[in-house]
């Protein structure tokens, strides 16, 4: 997949000597890496390796023990408006009566026209007809695309997705890859994805960040995804469990 | 018959207070049920008994003291939920029984029959005095002035707290304010519905509204309408049959819920 986004050497996200603990349990230990502007980067690692914790730290959702995270060279708090986020788990009562349009309206800012909802829906390959459906009626893939559309409301300069392709069929995956490509190229948005999908990581992303409590690698897939590195990341975990 | 009911000033006050509480509790109830906080209302209402007992011993108006007490309980629940690993239900269960036990001990120090206590426990249409009406109306207005512009934010953070935080919503502040608003609204309803039954008005209209709605807008509207009709019919029944107002309102609300359940089943 050829990339045309404006990549620079400037860091969109700069994680510097980051450590995070939950009580006595150290989840991330002295992690440092940079994601250049315009990159599509993926964080890989086995379950419990600290991927989601790292994402939460980057989003400013949790307190860190030490280290710093800067976004476009500034402190995270000042740059939150530049980040869009698609959560891994969206657990809600499927019978809760709310239409897709109403759900998307929750994230729309007062100064944004109502038309922005239709605009973003089309951008993720859905038709406005879906707006009248109830949120609980959507398939996993449709809900995922709605969440991505919602995250695009603020025209984020960084889009962060936590295991977005989980539970999506092959056709849905292809559509998802196209959407990520469109967001990256046409919106000049840096994308950071937590993923278990090795095929996606090796084909689509520019940078792989491998972690297992500590940083194992942070480089282009061809350089980072060596047998030695993957063995170190996944230790005794059978890799086939992580491939889709 | 209706003109007879409206003739009495105590009924006028009960109806006005009931209609205000109907809007307030049904609106907050929609968010409370979405957040699975139905037990919170139950806990705060029961905990308010200690506040009422303190006021009775000190011979001051019970409603303001009960409100302050319940807000304190809500703040402790909020703090304990976040500072311990205990489940919300456990924290609420401990606090409400402790506060109620304290109330019972205090009540036992008060000699003789306590008619006001009985009306607080079971609700009474005679219980709403003019000052109570002002307190209910004033506090309900303040809560709604915050709640109405916050509905979108509260719904969003109830569905996905992380996404709401990233989008810039002050989730901790809004959650705390919701806890305070919910505790005040619950105690405001105690005079008509009683400590034991007040939380039903948080749950029943919202549960009935959910069964009859397909959009969030209609969910809110239907829940409020059901709540208002429930209160009016309940008060009417309470007056005609000389029944406790709280129990009458809750039974009417339950009848609506059962009807909606049957309607929902018939549709599917």
The DSSP H or E segment spanning A209 is strand A207-212
Is the CB of residue A171 less than 8 Å from the CB of residue A185? no
Residue A61 sits at the chain B interface (C-beta within 8 Å)? yes
Domain B2-267 matching CATH 1.10.3470.10: the answer reads yes
pLDDT band at B76 (very low <50, low <70, confident <90, very high): very high
Residues 6+ apart with CB under 8 A from B265: none
Whole-number Cα distances in Å, A151 to A72, A106, A107, B190, B261: 19, 12, 8, 42, 36
From chain A, the residues in CB contact with B163 under 8 A are: 85, 87, 107, 147, 150-151
For chain A, give every domain's residue range: 11-94+160-242
Q: Tell me which residue in B34, B165, B215 faces A102 most closely, judged by beta carbons.
A: B215
Is the CB of residue A164 less than 8 Å from the CB of residue A148? yes
Q: Which residue of B has its CA nearest to A89?
A: B160
The 10 Å Cβ neighbour count of residue B211 is: 20
Between chains, do B155 and A80 touch, taking CB under 8 Å as contact?
A: no
Between chains, do A83 and B166 touch, taking CB under 8 Å as contact?
A: yes
The per-residue pLDDT for B111 is: 67
Residue written as tokens 């009566």?
A: A97
The per-residue pLDDT for B61 is: 86
Segment B252-264, tens digit of pLDDT: 999 999 999 998 7
More confident residue, A1 or B121: B121
Segment B31-41, tens digit of pLDDT: 999 988 888 98
The per-residue pLDDT for A243 is: 40
ipTM of the complex: 0.82
DSSP A137: G
Average pLDDT of chain B to the nearest whole number: 89
**What percentage of chain B reaches a pLDDT higher than 90?**
57
Q: What is the fold, at CATH topology level, of the domain defined by A11-94+160-242?
A: Rossmann fold (3.40.50)
For chain B, give every domain's residue range: 2-267
The edge-to-edge listing of strands for the beta sheet with A25-36 is: A25-36, A11-22, A66-71, A74-75
Closest to B48 (Cα-Cα) out of B225, B250, B184, B236? B184
Residue A105 sits at the chain B interface (C-beta within 8 Å)? yes
Whole-number Cα distances in Å, B83 to A62, B79, B80, B221: 14, 6, 5, 37
- Output the CA torsion sign for A149, A154, A159, A163: negative
Segment B187-210, tens digit of pLDDT: 999 888 888 888 899 999 999 999
Residue B214 sits at the chain A interface (C-beta within 8 Å)? yes
- Residue A191, sorted as left (phi over 0), alpha (psi -120 to 50) or beta, turns out to be beta
Rounded CA separation A44/A204 (Å): 14
The per-residue pLDDT for B155 is: 94
Query: Of A200-204, B175-179, B211-215, which gets the smallest average pLDDT?
Result: A200-204
Residue A129 sits at the chain B interface (C-beta within 8 Å)? no
> For residue A207, what are the β-bridge partners?
A41
- Per-residue pLDDT 10s for chain A (244 aa) are 444 555 666 889 999 999 999 888 889 999 999 999 999 999 998 888 888 899 999 988 888 999 999 999 888 777 778 899 988 767 777 778 999 999 999 888 777 787 888 888 998 889 999 999 998 888 888 888 899 998 888 889 999 998 776 666 666 777 888 888 899 988 889 999 998 777 778 878 899 999 988 888 888 888 877 888 888 777 755 544 444 3
Cα B140 to chain center, whole Å?
A: 11
Residues 6+ apart with CB under 8 A from A238: none
Closest to A140 (Cα-Cα) out of A105, A122, A164? A164
Q: Tell me which residue in B153, B163, B216 faces A97 most closely, judged by beta carbons.
A: B216
């Amino acid at each position: 997949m050829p990339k045309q986004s404006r990549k620079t050497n400037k860091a969109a996200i700069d994680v510097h000597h980051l450590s995070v603990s939950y009580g006595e349990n150290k989840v991330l230990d002295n992690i440092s890496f940079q994601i250049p502007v315009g990159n599509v980067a993926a964080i890989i690692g086995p379950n419990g390796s600290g991927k989601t914790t790292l994402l939460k730290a980057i989003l400013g959702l949790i307190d860190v023990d030490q280290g710093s995270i800067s976004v476009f060279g500034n402190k995270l708090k000042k740059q939150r408006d530049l980040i869009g986020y698609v959560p891994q788990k969206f657990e809600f009562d499927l019978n809760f009566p709310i239409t897709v349009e109403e759900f998307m309206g929750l994230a729309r800012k007062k100064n944004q026209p109502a038309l922005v909802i239709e605009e973003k829906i089309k951008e993720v390959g859905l038709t406005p007809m879906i707006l009248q459906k109830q949120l609980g009626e959507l398939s996993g893939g449709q809900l995922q695309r709605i969440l991505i559309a919602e995250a695009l409301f603020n025209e984020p300069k960084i889009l962060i997705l936590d295991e977005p392709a989980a539970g999506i069929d092959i056709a849905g995956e292809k559509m998802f890859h196209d959407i990520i490509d469109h967001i990256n190229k046409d919106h000049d948005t840096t994308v950071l994805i937590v993923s278990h999908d090795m095929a996606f990581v090796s084909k689509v992303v520019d940078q792989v960040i491998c972690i297992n409590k500590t940083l194992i690698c942070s480089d282009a897939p061809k350089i980072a995804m060596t047998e030695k590195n993957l063995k170190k990341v996944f230790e005794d975990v059978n890799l086939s469990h992580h491939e889709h | 018959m209706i003109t007879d009911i409206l003739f009495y000033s105590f009924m006028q006050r009960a109806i006005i207070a009931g209609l205000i509480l109907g809007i307030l509790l049904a609106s907050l109830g929609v968010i409370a049920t979405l957040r699975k906080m139905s037990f919170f209302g139950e806990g705060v209402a029961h905990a308010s008994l200690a506040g009422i007992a303190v006021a009775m011993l000190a011979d001051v108006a019970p409603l303001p003291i009960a409100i302050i007490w319940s807000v304190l309980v809500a703040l402790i629940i909020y703090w304990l939920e976040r500072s311990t690993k205990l489940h919300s239900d456990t924290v609420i269960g401990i606090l409400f029984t402790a506060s109620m036990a304290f109330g019972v001990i205090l009540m036992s120090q008060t000699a003789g029959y306590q008619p006001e206590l009985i009306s607080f426990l079971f609700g009474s249409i005679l219980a709403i005095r003019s000052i109570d009406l002002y307190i209910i109306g004033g506090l309900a207005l303040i809560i709604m002035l915050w709640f109405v512009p916050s509905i979108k934010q509260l719904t969003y953070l109830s569905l996905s707290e992380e996404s709401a935080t990233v989008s810039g919503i002050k989730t901790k502040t809004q959650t705390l304010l919701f806890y305070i608003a919910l505790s005040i609204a619950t105690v405001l309803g105690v005079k008509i519905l009683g400590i034991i039954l007040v939380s039903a008005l948080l749950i029943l209209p919202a549960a009935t509204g959910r069964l009859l709605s397909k959009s969030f807008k209609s969910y809110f509207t239907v829940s409020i309408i059901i709540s208002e009709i429930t209160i009016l019919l309940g008060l009417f029944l309470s007056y005609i049959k000389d029944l406790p107002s709280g129990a009458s309102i809750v039974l009417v609300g339950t009848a609506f819920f059962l009807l909606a359940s049957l309607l929902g089943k018939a549709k599917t």
